[in-house]
């Protein structure tokens, strides 16, 4: 497949995103190819670890390829998206649970679907160009691909802040928030990857790691904890409106761009997942939302405004300050027979 290179090199299983002109956006076929590789390498004694990287300097993987999702959804075919998400989430669970070390080298943008591949391994490497984010609420989705699990386990209320504002994380902030483990200058990556391929010795990553240049998030943490601890979206909006600080006005501006329904559901998912001990609980909750996102959510309108017409003027279903609690409940109700099962071939 021209969009991704999957092969065995030395003692490693190697995955490389190879569509840099599309910011290495992940298609459905790429997702399935990664899952097939994970299944094969789990039992392959020749593969001591997995190394994942990407071509180009702008992005590791800037998200999922959503054009086909939009086209099928507008045509009333919601089953394609439901299959896409269920299969992708199954791959995300396998990546998280993989029984051997998984190293990812994430330059440039790592967002959405890229997080589901790059941020669930055991050795997650970032550098000076790295920008990691979960921007789904801006298109009417919730942070998914298991991202809600990372957000829910971030220190304090960082998860709520990052999930609702889509703030971008540099290397230090990605490590602080739980999206990455190691800072290594990007100029050192090719030689390190070559050594990993030859030796299969993942401890080389620990030896190469350095202290990351400081990020802005630490200085903001008190403000974040003070304003993003509310039970519902309205509580956070009220706190920010009554704060009066530059931080609060900046956060409100970010929130005002996003789908209120998606933000309310993202907040509820993060709160529920905080007590979860495995990623499957997070993915199952995320799927309740994405299963309904095209037919009942703001997803198609969000894609229209941001990607198709590019008018940046989405007409969301609900007002920013007055999201009904019942709207959140309906999107996150159990799916019954349609529940995410993590079984291949269903």
Residue 45 is part of a domain; what is its CATH number? 3.90.226.10
In a domain, 345, yes or no: no
pLDDT band at 322 (very low <50, low <70, confident <90, very high): confident
DSSP summary character for residue 27: P
Average pLDDT across the chain, whole number: 96
State yes or no: pLDDT of 46 exceeds 90.
yes
Please give the average per-residue pLDDT across 59-86, as a whole number.
91
Q: Is residue 180 part of a domain?
A: yes
Q: Mind giving me the DSSP string for 45-89?
A: TT--EEEEEESSSSEEE--B--HHHHHHHHTT-HHHHHHHHHHHH
346 has pLDDT over 70: no
Residues of the chain above pLDDT 70, percent: 99
- Position 111 in a domain: yes
**Does residue 210 lie in a domain region?**
yes
pTM of the model: 0.97
Q: How many domains does the chain have?
A: 1
Does 242 map to a domain?
yes
Please tell me whether residue 332 adopts helix, strand or coil conformation: coil
Two tokens, residue 205: 């990553």
pLDDT at 239 over 70: yes
Q: What is the pLDDT of residues 246-263, one digit of tens each?
A: 999 999 999 999 999 999
- Distance of alpha carbon 20 from the chain centroid: 19
Share of the chain above pLDDT 90, in %: 94
Does residue 343 fall inside a structural domain?
no
Q: Is residue 9 situated within a structural domain?
A: yes
In a domain, 346, yes or no: no
Q: Which domain holds residue 62?
A: 4-338
């Amino acid at each position: 497949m021209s969009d991704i290179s999957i092969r065995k090199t030395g003692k490693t299983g190697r995955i490389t995103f190879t569509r840099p002109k599309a910011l290495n956006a992940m298609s459905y076929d790429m997702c399935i190819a990664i899952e097939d590789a994970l299944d094969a390498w789990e039992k392959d004694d020749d593969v001591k670890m997995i190394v994942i990287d990407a071509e180009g300097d702008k992005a590791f993987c800037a998200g999922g390829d959503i054009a086909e999702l939009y086209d099928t959804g507008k045509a009333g075919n919601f089953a394609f998206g439901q299959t896409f998400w269920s299969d992708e989430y199954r791959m995300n669970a396998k990546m998280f649970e993989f029984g051997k070390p998984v190293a990812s080298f994430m330059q440039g943008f790592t967002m959405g679907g890229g997080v589901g591949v790059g941020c669930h391994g055991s050795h997650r490497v970032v550098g000076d160009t790295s920008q990691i984010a979960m921007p789904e609420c801006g298109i009417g989705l919730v942070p998914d691909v298991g991202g809600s699990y990372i957000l829910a386990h971030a220190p304090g209320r960082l998860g709520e802040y990052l999930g609702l504002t889509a703030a971008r994380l540099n290397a230090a902030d990605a490590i602080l928030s739980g999206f990455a483990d190691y800072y290594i200058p990007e100029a050192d990556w090719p030689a390190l990857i070559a050594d990993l391929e030859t030796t299969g010795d993942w401890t080389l990553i620990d030896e190469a790691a350095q202290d990351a240049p400081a990020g802005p998030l630490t200085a903001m943490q008190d403000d974040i904890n003070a304003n993003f601890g509310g039970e519902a979206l309205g509580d956070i909006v009220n706190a920010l409106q009554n704060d009066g600080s530059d931080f609060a006005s900046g956060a409100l501006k970010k929130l005002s761009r996003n789908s209120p329904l998606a933000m309310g559901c993202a907040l509820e998912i993060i709160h529920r997942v905080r007590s979860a001990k495995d990623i499957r609980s997070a993915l199952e909750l995320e799927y309740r939302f994405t299963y309904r996102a095209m037919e009942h959510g703001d997803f198609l309108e969000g894609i229209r405004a941001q990607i198709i017409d590019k008018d940046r003027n989405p007409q969301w279903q609900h007002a920013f300050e007055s999201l009904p609690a019942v709207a959140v409940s309906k999107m996150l109700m159990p799916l019954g027979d349609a529940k995410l099962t993590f079984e291949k071939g269903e």
